[in-house]
Structure 1
Amino acid sequence: MTTYTTLSQPQLAKQSTVDLDLSKLSPLTPEVISRQATINIGTIGHVAHGKSTVVKSLSGVSTIRFEKEKKENKTINLGYANAKIFECDNAKCPRPERFRSAGSSKQDVFPCDRNGCGGQFRLVRHVSFVDCPGHDVYMATMLNGAAIMDAALLLIAANETCPQPQTSEHVAAIGIMKLNSILILQNKIDLVREAQAKEQYQQINNFIKGTNAEDAPVIPISAQQKINTDIICEYITKKIPIPLRDFSSKPRLIVIRSFDVNKPGAEVDNLKGGVVGGSILKGVLKVGQDVEVRPGIVSKDNEGRLRCRPLRSKIVSLYAEQNELAFAVPGGLIGVGTKIDPTLCRADRLVGQVLGEVGTLPEIYTEIQITYFLLRRLVGVRDGGNGGDPRVAKLAKGEMLMINIGSLSTGGRVLGVKDGLAKIQLMNPVCTEISEKVALSRRIDKSFRLIGWGEIRRGTVINSQ
């Protein structure tokens, strides 16, 4: 007889790690979708176009959580929030009203409140929203978020001309990531007249020609007033496919956040280990499982050579927002409670690292050789910076770039360039694989601007302890 792990939230489906058959799991299996999201949808676009507001209107959760973010009323770190999407099972219930969203802890079935309907709202999708900052100086953070996106909502404010600088830059970034499931939201539609909205709609269509978003529909919305959010829910349910997930491989999670959850002055006996947050790329993580984080602690020996000591620990808890899990599957944002020294996890110190089963993670590289492709022109700036040339200059030996690999942002010095290949020395070692995608950015004025992308062909491996 199967026994169930005792978890909180009895209104949600039960989970068990006893006799867990991975071959029978899918992103829509009730015990999976009830407790965790199985698809990551990014919100992208220019600053103040409503990314955080649309996430809150769908999930009920504010992604602006840090004191500095609240003070400046803008997203600085990657925000995240989960939402369940429901569809009424009465075929006569009109669309799009038959779709609605709620928080991640909502029960999976509840009565439809439309007069005379008599149907039941049933859970059809569980989504993690990755809320990216729109300000130009946080482009590296946006690229980290793009590494885990399965789809994207592109926010464009109806009361501004299109495109704005970071609208262009974010669309270029998701093109590099080969992200094709895109929905364009013409937000703040309540602030403009019909003629202005139609004029901007034409600007949007002209802008997206030749991009990954060329075939994306445009939905006029007001995130603040929650106008047409039910259409967003219907589109996510019917038009955005859940990617194929690998449940059987050894688990691997890329870290996009890390925390020390202990409050100042906590007693020693009450201290908890560090928490890492991210998205599982493949495999299944379970409570009680032995794991490691790579590269781990980076140091130098007496001769100045880099050394990496992976952090080994045990999973003591798994959470999807407030939902407790016995196991976690690919897709969605997961919090992993560990026994790692919490000071090592404080203030996102483990961002860019990889968590997985001991002895199964990829090599750690200090140098990489990539095939690369440069954009023809700079995007996200109105000119080349200080009125300079907007064309992207060739890579030069010795120059410093910003390199994004997975969720890692690090400096990289170009050691050599030849025939479409570039050899780059990384300022921070990275746990990655051959064929992994890389985003390249160059400092223009005071900010790093996206200039191209590449793919890892080989590299110099560092031995870990």
Structure 2
Amino acid sequence: MAKKKKKTVAEDDLSAEDLGVVPEEKKKKTTAKKKTSKKKTTTKKKTTKKSSKKSDFIQSSCNVGLVGHVDHGKTTLVKALSGTWTEKYADEINRGITIKLGYAEAAVMQCPKCNRVIAEALANLLRKSKKDPKGHCPDCGEKLAFKRRISFVDAPGHEILMATMLSGASLMDGAVLLVAANEDCPQPQTREHLAALEIAKIENIIIVQNKVDSVGKERAIEHYNQIKSFVKGTIAENAPIIPTSAIFQANVDKISELIEEIIPSPDFEDLNEEDFLFNVARSFDINRPGISIDDLAGGVMGGSIISGQISVGDQVEIRPGLKNPDSGKYKPVITTVKSIYEGKHSLETARPGGLIAIGTELDPSNTRTDQLIGNVVGTPETLPEVKNTVEIETHLLEKVLGAEEDISVKPIAKNELIMIVVGTSLSAGVVSKIGKHNSVSLQLKRPICALGGSIVALSRRIHNRFRLIGYGYLAE
């Protein structure tokens, strides 16, 4: 029985494939086997080729979020644009919905002859014949030239996963809002996700009217007008609306063009000179059951660099850190960076832009099943103080978002439980004080590490669900 248990792959181990993390020990072992079975000349040739690929890889410079109501086609669209199906967990596959934040990367290419801009994976999908070479323009057949690499953040659309979506919003530089044509607009999470984009101040938005293949022309026009009415007066009022069938790749090429046009890469020049700061959105144990102790790889953290740069061999501090099971208190941790990955590509140094994984010397039992979500990583002694009590300048919405019925937002009351999301950090706290100028003080159940002035999403429990009621800013 014990042997059978060791052979079973744990569900959380599957997520390591999202970021392409391979234990260094495992890579060394595989290389050693190849050397014994092949001639030395062949081995040297392969090694040289591999290192050249590694140096040629260009890190993503932009994070594009896919947001919208559950089952409106976000994951299918990511697949068409990147070639990656982001639902990896058994529960996600069985239920057909995104539960965790999904990640994928895509190379944006341009044809030097006809100037067409298109995602590389999509260009390969749209080839006229399978015999046609990959990486060429589907229109004129010219070899495509690289423009930039982007990362996709596939946010869950189900109402009970709103906190996960809010965490993902903190990583986005721009967003694609999907609205399915076979359902009236807006659906509850369509409204809630758009509000989250407004709270996160994400202004570069593309609206995709998906699943137009499932409705007639008159319904498609009626639904288009519903979208226009819904976004009027919002941050997405002037966003382009693209009718699409993601499952048949119809008009998806127009989306890749608009991403290049509307969602530019941020200017990281000044950020590169600042202290290193990294928001943890996922964490993994990449070791398979039954692996020998000598081959164990340290814990892995996935997320996005906010500022500064990180290199293999650097020391980093993690705050609030790990929870002591006896005292219940959190203690910051210092560890060494052993590897850096974007997708399946190994990096020696990483900067802001894209979604990366950092391999560490941490005990992998401390990173499995996303235990480090919400932590902040930085150069030792440069991170903000860990806060158990926070003061927030609040701004409440007129109506509760995400609920089926029309509910007005009541003022926050003393002793009320409020859920907050700051960056990728999720916590809840009891209101201990109501101050002047709409400020409230919360005694947190889980500490956070965040800079003063950070945007905070506020939710309260309504009908056994935490619903978005407003936003605020952390006091300095």
Same-fold call, TM > 0.5? yes
Q: What residue is the counterpart of 1:280 in the other structure?
A: 305
Q: How do residues 61-100 of structure 1 correspond to structure 2 at under 5 angstroms?
A: 61-90=84-113, 92=114, 95=116, 98-100=117-119
Per the alignment, in what secondary structure is the counterpart of residue 166 of structure 2?
helix
1:87-140 deviation digits (Å, cap 9, x = unpaired) = 1011x35x4xx523329xxxxx9863557x463311112111111110100000
Within 2, Cα distance between the matches of 1:38 and 1:221? 26
Q: What residue is the counterpart of 1:212 in the other structure?
A: 235
Q: Which amino acid aligns with 1:112?
A: H
State whether residues 8 and 323 of structure 1, in contact with CA within 8 Å, keep that contact through their aligned partners in structure 2. Answer: no
Distance change >3 Å, CA 221–CA 317, structure 1 → 2: same
Match of 1:258 among 267, 283, 290: 283
Within 2, Cα distance between the matches of 1:190 and 1:78? 27
Shift of 1:71: 1.0
Q: What residue is the counterpart of 1:408 in the other structure?
A: 425
1:258-317 deviation digits (Å, cap 9, x = unpaired) = 00011111110011100000000011111111111111123488xx7x743211111111
> Are residues 1:101 and 2:130 paired?
no
Q: What residue is the counterpart of 2:254 in the other structure?
A: 231
Within 2, Cα distance between the matches of 1:114 and 1:62? 22
Within 2, Cα distance between the matches of 1:71 and 1:409? 27
State whether residues 106 and 119 of structure 2, in contact with CA within 8 Å, keep that contact through their aligned partners in structure 1. Answer: no
Q: What residue is the counterpart of 1:199 in the other structure?
A: 222
State whether residues 110 and 121 of structure 1, in contact with CA within 8 Å, keep that contact through their aligned partners in structure 2. Answer: no
State whether residues 7 and 324 of structure 1, in contact with CA within 8 Å, keep that contact through their aligned partners in structure 2. Answer: no
Within 2, Cα distance between the matches of 1:268 and 1:82? 33
Shift of 1:425: 1.0
State whether residues 285 and 298 of structure 2, in contact with CA within 8 Å, keep that contact through their aligned partners in structure 1. Answer: yes
Q: What residue is the counterpart of 1:369 in the other structure?
A: 391
Q: What residue is the counterpart of 1:244 in the other structure?
A: 267
1:223-278 deviation digits (Å, cap 9, x = unpaired) = 10111111111111122121121111121110000000111111100111000000
State whether residues 341 and 347 of structure 2, in contact with CA within 8 Å, keep that contact through their aligned partners in structure 1. Answer: yes
State whether residues 101 and 233 of structure 1, in contact with CA within 8 Å, keep that contact through their aligned partners in structure 2. Answer: no
Kindly indicate which of the two structures has a greater share of residues assigned to helix. 2
Segments ≥4 residues shifted beyond 4 Å: 6-11
Match of 2:460 among 426, 437, 442: 442
Q: Which amino acid aligns with 1:422?
A: V
Within 2, Cα distance between the matches of 1:127 and 1:447? 34
Within 2, Cα distance between the matches of 1:100 and 1:289? 34
Match of 1:397 among 414, 421, 425: 414
Aligned residues with identical type, % of pairs: 43
Per the alignment, in what secondary structure is the counterpart of residue 210 of structure 1?
coil
Q: Calculate the aligned-residue CA RMSD, in Å.
A: 2.0
Within 2, Cα distance between the matches of 1:426 and 1:164? 32
Q: How do residues 40-439 of structure 1 correspond to structure 2 at under 5 angstroms?
A: 40-90=63-113, 92=114, 95=116, 98-102=117-121, 112-114=136-138, 117=140, 119-245=142-268, 246-299=271-324, 307-384=329-406, 390-419=407-436, 420-439=438-457
Distance change >3 Å, CA 114–CA 60, structure 1 → 2: closer
Within 2, Cα distance between the matches of 1:382 and 1:334? 37
1:391-414 deviation digits (Å, cap 9, x = unpaired) = 001101001011101101111111
State whether residues 64 and 79 of structure 1, in contact with CA within 8 Å, keep that contact through their aligned partners in structure 2. Answer: yes
Shift of 1:8: 7.9
State whether residues 461 and 467 of structure 2, in contact with CA within 8 Å, keep that contact through their aligned partners in structure 1. Answer: yes
Distance change >3 Å, CA 238–CA 190, structure 1 → 2: same
State whether residues 82 and 119 of structure 2, in contact with CA within 8 Å, keep that contact through their aligned partners in structure 1. Answer: no
Q: Which amino acid aligns with 1:230?
A: D
Q: What residue is the counterpart of 1:462 in the other structure?
A: none
Q: Which amino acid aligns with 1:427?
A: K
Q: What residue is the counterpart of 2:471 in the other structure?
A: 453
Q: What residue is the counterpart of 1:24 in the other structure?
A: none
TM-score (norm 2): 0.84
Per the alignment, in what secondary structure is the counterpart of residue 64 of structure 1?
coil
1:9-29 deviation digits (Å, cap 9, x = unpaired) = 556461xxxxxxxxxxxxxxx
Per the alignment, in what secondary structure is the counterpart of residue 148 of structure 1?
coil
TM-score (norm 1): 0.86
Shift of 1:370: 1.1
Within 1, Cα distance between the matches of 2:213 and 2:293? 53
Distance change >3 Å, CA 160–CA 341, structure 1 → 2: same
Shift of 1:35: 3.4
1:35-67 deviation digits (Å, cap 9, x = unpaired) = 321111111000000011101111111111001
Aligned residues: 417
Distance change >3 Å, CA 298–CA 100, structure 1 → 2: closer
Within 2, Cα distance between the matches of 1:136 and 1:308? 30
Per the alignment, in what secondary structure is the counterpart of residue 234 of structure 2?
coil
